[in-house]
Amino acid sequence: MSSATADAGHGHHDQGFIKKYLWSTDHKVIGFQYLFTGMFMALIGGFTVYVFRMQLAFPGMSVPGFGRVTAHDYNSLVTTHGSVMIFWVAMPVLIAALGNYLIPLMIGCDDMVFPRINRLSYQLFLVSSLVLITSFFVDGGAFGGAWTAYPPLSAKAAYNLTPHGAPLWLVAVALEFVAFLLGGINFITTVMNSRAPGMKMFDVPIVVWMIVIASIVFMASVGPLVAGAVMLLFDQTVGTGFFDPSRGGDPVLWQHLFWFFGHPEVYVVLLPAMGIVAEIITVFSRKKLFAYKTVLYTAIGTGVLSFFVWAHHQFVAGIDPRMANIFSVTTLLISIPVAEMVFVYIATLYGGSIRLTTPMLWALAFIGEFLIGGVTGIFLGASGSDIYFHDTYFVVAHFHYTFFPIAFIGSFAAITYWFPKMFGKMLNETWGKVHFWGTIIAFNFIFIPLFLTGARGDHRRIYDYTHFPDLMKAGMQEMRVLATLALVVLLAFQVVFLVNFFYSLVKGKKAEQNPWKANTLEWVAASPPPHGNFPELPTVYRGPYEYSHPEAKDDYWPQNQPPQTA
């Protein structure tokens, strides 16, 4: 509703623009709203990490563009970085933007089945973003109790010293969850009901399946956390004691509620990114996806297993130590379906005709970098070694090797691949590759040093290591400086992306209807697709990955092409 009041300010003369871009029920426009909001929030996430990494490399310096970083600032910056990048960047871009944009186009229908719920979903998301941004400017500043918000620290202003920031953070997160619940309902219902005639379950493109599975996992896991968030909000504001041990509450309960959602959440964002990669590597290696059904079943298996691993975040948190044994087993077992997906993607490359375009480079980089994130997770899932690694920079480096490929490499792959369809213009390939190499090389120079400092004992969320003599030994500070410099380089290269994005949007070469010669239905629509998507709704004759089929005359065989014309 708040965007209604915001819109009123623009006056009546602009009704057409508002109706078309701000109050739209068109799935493509809502996808763009999510995409641009996510990109804007990524700037906030990027700025916060720039400030706190500068403080770590050069403690006490006046950071250009921010000033001196106090311990209070530092905690708020770290908390904001984590919350924003996961809830306001990865989720809106990977699931909401791409899900909204792609699902109706890829399954060959004209819009979502609940377009107005869809509009409400974005509006709630926008409100949640505004609430979060507001929390930076209230008395006491933004919440600084880490994105995991463990009570009692998060529950009492006397402990966290952010009397307004903490409740606002919680409200923002809870609203954001509601927004994605509404979006998820739409995705699942649309895919189940509105597929083009002839499109059977196994003809649905993998990326669509992945978004559906992710939405189901999200819906099934988020309930307990929303309940927990309300309980925590009551603890903060009306003085209940759900998480207060002195009044019979239990702070560890929050950790269970949080991670029961928090770990499936990793797969909620991983699966869509995996789906994007499947679409791109098949197109640019002109290969059928190796073992479609295996990918689908492993994705479902991952989704199911992801509900049984959460307590690996709590091995040393004071849970019954016997529980750690069970969760070690489940955690290591989840490596099997995820590894299988990676094997399938590598096998898909075999015998292909690989063209290293910018989207393909991003998709391949996802596989290469995510492998590092995957294997380092084993050290943390194994309870014995987690005793040492828990809450060190090894963990930070590990999950950035999963989340950066997911949230950024995956999104860049998707944006560079679908840009011609979305905006009817081609991105510049040369600048795309400059951006790619600048980002990938810098990324590794950030996090390989952090694996090393973590292995040597650097613990997380520390604004100044000079109080720890063992952590100031020779070489340690140099690695922190290296990581920070690499981060600055990485951020600088994002300017290349933004310039390329907006320049191509206006002045780019006009895109054909199907520039990549891909099979899936979104390429049947015009670039960009008009309201209603298809002149006449397509009929589907085959699966989405029939590249280089011996019976087809070209090396691709669009899903909607009738067999006799082949």
Partner 1 sequence: MISHYLEQASTFARDIDNLILLITLTVGFWFLLAQFLFFGFILKFRAQDGKKAQYISGENKWEKRWVSLPHYATLFFDVLIIIAAIRVWQDVKMTLPQADSTVRVIAQQWAWTFVHPGPDNKLDTADDIRTVDELHVEVNKTYHFELQSRDVLHSFSVPVFRLKQDVIPGRTIKGWFKPTMTGGFDVQCTEICGIGHGIMAARVLIENAADHAAWVKANAPQVAAATPADNVPTGGSR
- Footprint of partner 1 on residues 297-356 (CB under 8 A)? 315-318, 321-322, 324-325, 328-329, 332-333, 335-336, 339-340, 342-344, 346-356
Tokens of 108: 């060959």
CB of 36 to partner 1, least distance (A): 32
Tokens of 152: 């009692």
Residue whose CB is less far from partner 1, 43 or 462: 462
Residue whose CB is less far from partner 1, 153 or 216: 153
* Interface characters, 10-29, with partner 1 (x: CB under 8 A): --------------------
460 exposure class (CB count in 10 Å sphere: 0-12, 13-18, 19+): middle
CB of 43 to partner 1, least distance (A): 25
Cis peptide before 205 (omega within 30 of 0): no
Which residue type, as a one-letter code, is found at position 236? Q
Residue whose CB is less far from partner 1, 85 or 185: 85
CB of 552 to partner 1, least distance (A): 9
Would you tell me the crossing angle of helices 321-333 and 335-349 to the nearest 10 degrees?
20
Q: What is the 3-state secondary structure (H, E, C) of 371-419?
A: HHHHHHHHHHHCHHHHHHHCCEHHHHHHHHHHHHHHHHHHHHHHHHHHH
Q: Which of 7, 110, 391, 512 binds partner 1 (CB under 8 A)?
A: 391
Which positions from 239 through 258 interact with partner 1, judged by CB under 8 A?
245-246, 251-252
What span, in angstroms and rounded, lies between the C-alpha atoms of 4 and 183?
20
Residue whose CB is less far from partner 1, 346 or 426: 346
Which positions from 371 through 390 interact with partner 1, judged by CB under 8 A?
371-372, 375, 378-379, 382-385, 387-388, 390
Residue whose CB is less far from partner 1, 30 or 367: 367
| 392: phi then psi, degrees, rounded to nearest 5 | -105, 175
- Helix or strand (DSSP H, E) at 321: helix 321-333
Which positions from 47 through 76 interact with partner 1, judged by CB under 8 A?
70-72, 74-75
Q: Which of 25, 189, 294, 444 binds partner 1 (CB under 8 A)?
A: 294
Helix (H, G, I), strand (E, B) or coil at 331: helix
What span, in angstroms and rounded, lies between the C-alpha atoms of 239 and 233?
9
C-alpha separations of 187 from 127, 195, 475 in Å: 21, 12, 50
Angle (CA) 440 442 444, round 5° = 70
Residue whose CB is less far from partner 1, 347 or 485: 347
CB of 159 to partner 1, least distance (A): 5
Tokens of 156: 């009492």
Residue whose CB is less far from partner 1, 224 or 241: 241
- Count of residues near partner 1 by CB under 8 A: 96
- Helix or strand (DSSP H, E) at 229: helix 206-237
DSSP 8-class letter at 517: -
* Interface characters, 264-293, with partner 1 (x: CB under 8 A): ---------------------xxxxxxxxx
Residue 397 binds partner 1, judged by CB under 8 A: no
* Interface characters, 205-244, with partner 1 (x: CB under 8 A): ----------------------------------------
Which positions from 438 through 497 interact with partner 1, judged by CB under 8 A?
455-457, 459-464, 467-471, 473
* Interface characters, 495-524, with partner 1 (x: CB under 8 A): ------------------------------
Cis peptide before 152 (omega within 30 of 0): yes
Which positions from 95 through 114 interact with partner 1, judged by CB under 8 A?
none
Residue 212: closest CA among 193, 233, 240: 193
CB of 318 to partner 1, least distance (A): 5
Residue whose CB is less far from partner 1, 12 or 293: 293
Residue whose CB is less far from partner 1, 47 or 150: 150
Residue whose CB is less far from partner 1, 475 or 535: 475
Which positions from 522 through 561 interact with partner 1, judged by CB under 8 A?
547-550, 555
Q: What is the 3-state secondary structure (H, E, C) of 406-458?
A: HHHHHHHHHHHHHHHHHHCECCCHHHHHHHHHHHHHHHHHHHHHHHHHHHCCC
